Amino acid sequence: MRQLRTKTIIQSQFIRQQAQYSSMASTETKAIGFIGLGQMGFHMAKHLRAKSKEPFIVFDMNKDVALKFKSENSNVSIATSPADLASQASVIVTALPESTHVKQAYLGEDGVIKGISKGVLCIDSSTIDNSVSIDVSKQIIAAGGRAVDAPISGGIMGAQAATLTFMVGSQNTTDFERAKVHLAKMGKNVVHCGELGAGQAAKICNNLLLAISMIGVAEAMNLGIRLGLDPTVLASIVNTSSGRCWSSDTANPVPNVIATAPSSKDYDGGFKSRLMLKDLGLVSNAAKQSKTPLLLGALSENIYRMISNDSAMAEKDFSVVYKWIANSQTK
């Protein structure tokens, strides 16, 4: 009798395991979905598609961009909505500008959770409000999916070269490891920062420093030029000295110092100033919630607010702060 009961238990466990394996295999054979083919997302999706064997499905509010992506990449289909995409995918990556776009994509009338299946992994690479990120992730999980926040650093140049850094927050290491497989195809560094929302926290701290350093490089370069220094010579000194940083050696804000920098392309093709202002707003919100003083951060936010009040400069790369400073005349 005892042997029969033991045999029954073993058989039940085997059946459950087989069902789990069958469900996992069914999920993993579905497509990879990508929502948000903007300046960053287009390049990210291109690398992910090229390095993945699964069918690829995309969605963007701009239908022309989605059609362009399909025409340039094989084995790609276009979803009619985020919900439609979710019904066909085992993994979904989103790269969207702001919190409202993320909430709409996931929780809207035709949002992802309306079409999501059990176990589908949602990777949000948008930079949004930490509390919104956590809330959206929890609603995805409540709907049967899995979720990680994975904001990115490296800019458009990093997206083009697949050298991005992903800062990941997850509920467990299993979700992180599963996401890492796909993130590694779009970047070179994938870092587990902690619980849900930790990726967003790391990202806004990085962008706070990025804004401050860009303003500092712009101000120093402007001073040197006004003192008669050749900007290329000054930049070479900074980049072999203690002032060196990404804002000086990769994205130098002075035109023609670095040929590949947005500043040498009329400040086009980079991280828009209005988006930097948006991120500094996220920094300000987080600082208030955590009762953290912001000195240079508050000043940086004010500077990018003034820059963004100029409709033309607002759409330019945030290194345009050099042009804004250079045009300022001290009495």
The C-alpha atoms of residue 30 and residue 88 are separated, in whole angstroms, by: 6
Find how far residue 256's CA is from the centre of its chain. 28
Q: Which of 46, 203, 278, 323 is catalytic?
A: 203
- Distances from the Cα of 309 to the Cα of 98, 195, 278, 306, 312, angstroms: 19, 36, 13, 5, 9
The C-alpha atoms of residue 77 and residue 68 are separated, in whole angstroms, by: 11
The C-alpha atoms of residue 65 and residue 90 are separated, in whole angstroms, by: 23
The C-alpha atoms of residue 261 and residue 316 are separated, in whole angstroms, by: 12
The C-alpha atoms of residue 112 and residue 133 are separated, in whole angstroms, by: 15
Residues 145 and 119: beta-carbon distance below 8 Å: yes
The C-alpha atoms of residue 180 and residue 186 are separated, in whole angstroms, by: 10
User: What DSSP string runs through 211-224?
Assistant: HHHHHHHHHHHHHH
Residues 282 and 129: beta-carbon distance below 8 Å: yes
Which value, to the nearest 10 degrees, does the dihedral of the CA atoms of residues 243, 300, 297, 132 take? -120
**203 catalytic, yes or no?**
yes
The C-alpha atoms of residue 320 and residue 317 are separated, in whole angstroms, by: 6
Residues 53 and 79: beta-carbon distance below 8 Å: no
Query: What is the 3-state secondary structure of 159-173?
Result: HHHCCEEEEEEECCH
* Closest to 206 (Cα-Cα) out of 219, 220, 193: 193
Element (H, E) at 73: none
Residues annotated as catalytic are: 203
